Chains A and B, each alone.
Chain A
Amino acid sequence: MSPMMTIAKREFRSYFDSPVAYVVICLSFLGLGLMFFQFDGGFWEEDRASMVNLFKYIPPGLAMLVVPVVTMGLIAEEKRSGTLEMLITLPVKDSDVMLGKYFGALGLVLVLLLSTLIYPIAMFWKPWMLGSLDWGPVQSAYLGLILFSAAAVSIGLLVSSLTDSQAVSFFVTFFILLLAWYIGRSADWMGGTLGEVLRYISFETRMSGFMRGLVDTRDIVYFLSIAVVCLTFAFRKLESRKWA
Chain B
Amino acid sequence: MSDVMIQADSLSKEFGQVRALDKINFEVRKGEVVGFLGPNGAGKSTTMRILTCFISPTGGRAKVHGFDVFDEPLEVRKRLGYLPQRAPLYQDMGVWEYLEFAAQIRGIDASAFRTRLKKVVEVCGLAQVLGKPIGELSHGYRQRVGLGQALIHDPPILILDEPTADLDPNEKAELLRYIKEIGKDRTILLSTHNLNEVEEACARAIIVSKGRVVADGNLDVIRSRGGSLRYTVAIDEVSAAPGKTPPRADEVQAALQGLPGAQRVAEKPSDETVHRFELVSAQDDDLRATVFRLAVDKGWTLLELQRDAQSLDSVFRDLTRGDEKLDRGASWKESNVDDSGAKSEAREEAN
Give the contacting residue for A81; candidates B52, B88, B101, B106; CB below 8 A.
B88
- Shortest beta-carbon distance from B333 to chain A in Å: 27
B1 nearest CB across to chain A (Å): 20
Instruction: Looking at the assembled complex, report how far the CB atom of B349 sits from the nearest CB atom of chain A, in whole angstroms.
Output: 29
Q: Are A89 and B78 in contact (CB under 8 A)?
A: no
Give A93 to B175 CA distance when docked, in angstroms: 31
Which of A3-11, A37-45, A172-180, A226-234 is the interface stretch?
A3-11
B interface majority secondary structure: loop
Q: Is A1 an interface position by the 8 A CB rule?
A: yes
Which residue on chain B has the smallest CB distance to residue A93?
A: B74
Query: Provided the pairs A1-B104, A90-B106 are in contact, do residues A17 and B93 lie with their beta carbons within 8 angstroms?
Result: yes
0 or 1 for each of B43-83: is its CB under 8 Å from A? (1 = yes): 00000010011111000000000000000001001101010
In the complex, chain A residues whose CB is within 8 Å of the CB of B78: 91
Given contacts A3-B105, A92-B105, contact A85 B15 (CB under 8 A): no
**Contacts A3-B105, A90-B102, A92-B105 given; does A83 touch B89 at CB 8 Å:** yes
Residue on B nearest A91 in the bound complex, by CB? B77
Interface contact B15-A244, CB-CB below 8 Å? yes
- A89 touching B84 in the complex, CB below 8 Å, given contacts A14-B90, A14-B92, A241-B55: yes
Main SS at interface, chain A: helix
Contacts across chains A and B counted by CB atoms under 8 Å: 65
Known: A3-B105, A89-B54, A89-B82. A83 touches B77 (CB 8 A): no
Instruction: Please determine whether A86 and B104 come into contact, CB atoms closer than 8 angstroms.
Output: no
CB <8 Å contact, B55 and A91: no
Asked, given contacts A82-B86, A89-B82, whether A242 binds B55 with beta carbons under 8 Å apart, the answer is yes
Query: Nearest chain B CB to A179's CB is how many angstroms away?
Result: 32
CB distance from B239 to the nearest CB of A (A): 57
Given contacts A6-B104, A241-B54, contact A89 B80 (CB under 8 A): yes
Query: Which chain B residues numbered 86 to 109 have a C-beta less than 8 Å away from chain A?
Result: 86, 88-93, 101-102, 104-107
Nearest B residue to A6 via CB reads B104
Contact residues in A for B146 (Cβ distance below 8 Å): 86
In the complex the two chains form, is A244's CB within 8 Å of B55's CB? yes
Q: Taking the complex as formed, is A197 at the interface, i.e. its CB lies under 8 A from any CB of chain B?
A: no
In the bound assembly, the distance between CA atoms of A93 and B106 in angstroms comes to 12
User: Distance (Å) between the CB of A32 and the closest chain B CB?
Assistant: 27
- Closest Cβ of chain B: how far from A77's Cβ, in Å? 10
Give, as a whole number of angstroms, the nearest-CB distance from B81 to chain A.
10
Contacts of B88 in A (CB 8 A): 81-83, 85-86
Q: Are B54 and A85 touching (Cβ within 8 A)? A: yes
Q: A92 CA to B105 CA in the complex, in Å?
A: 7
Q: Is A18 an interface residue (CB 8 A)?
A: yes
A2, closest chain B residue (CB):
B107
Q: Is A90's CB under 8 angstroms from B56's CB? A: no
**C-alpha spacing A152/B200, complex, angstroms:** 54
Per-position binary interface string of chain B over residues 94-138, scored 1 when its CB falls under 8 Å from any chain A CB and 0 otherwise: 000000011011110000000000000000000000000000000
In angstroms, Cα B54 to Cα A243, docked, is: 10
Distance to closest chain A CB from B191 (angstroms): 14
A88 within 8 Å of B by Cβ? yes
**CB-CB < 8 A to B84: which residues of A?**
82, 85-86, 89
A95 to chain B, nearest CB (A): 12
Contacts of A91 in B (CB 8 A): 74, 77-78, 105-106
Q: Which residues of B contact A7 (CB under 8 A)?
A: 105
Q: Chain A, 62-88, contact with B by CB distance < 8 Å: what is the 0/1 string?
A: 000000000000000000011101101
A6 to B106 Cα, complex, angstroms: 10
Q: Is the CB of A89 within 8 A of B55?
A: no
Q: Residues of B contacting A1 with CB < 8 Å?
A: 104
A17-B92, A241-B55, A244-B55 given; A85·B49 CB < 8 A: yes
Measured between C-beta atoms, what is the minimum distance from B146 to chain A in Å? 8
Least Cβ–Cβ distance between A199 and chain B, in angstroms: 43
Q: Hey, which chain B residues are within 8 Å of A3, CB to CB?
A: 105, 107
Q: How far is the CA of A92 from the CA of B146 in the complex (A)?
A: 18
Chain B residue contacts of A89, Cβ below 8 A: 52-54, 77, 80, 82, 84
A18 adjacent to B105 (CB under 8 Å): no
Q: Give A116-168 interface residues, CB cut-off 8 Å to B.
A: none
Q: Which residues of A (1-56) have their CB < 8 Å from a CB of B? A: 1, 3, 6-7, 10, 14, 17-18
**Nearest Cβ on chain A to B275's Cβ, whole angstroms:** 47
Contact with A along B158-199 (1 / 0, CB 8 A): 000000000000000000000000000000000000000000
Contacts of A83 in B (CB 8 A): 88-90
B195 to chain A, nearest CB (A): 26
Q: What separation, in Å, do the CA atoms of A81 and B82 have in the docked complex?
A: 17
Q: How far is the CA of A83 from the CA of B91 in the complex (A)?
A: 10
CB distance from A98 to the nearest CB of B (A): 15
The 4 closest A-B pairs by CB, nearest first: A82-B88, A91-B77, A242-B56, A89-B52
Complex A-B: 16 CB contacts under 8 Å: A6-B101, A6-B105, A10-B93, A10-B101, A14-B90, A14-B93, A18-B92, A82-B88, A85-B54, A86-B82, A86-B88, A91-B77, A92-B74, A93-B74, A242-B55, A244-B15
Given contacts A17-B92, A86-B146, A89-B53, 12 further A-B contacts (CB under 8 A): A3-B107, A14-B90, A17-B93, A82-B84, A82-B88, A83-B90, A86-B149, A89-B84, A90-B77, A91-B77, A242-B55, A244-B55
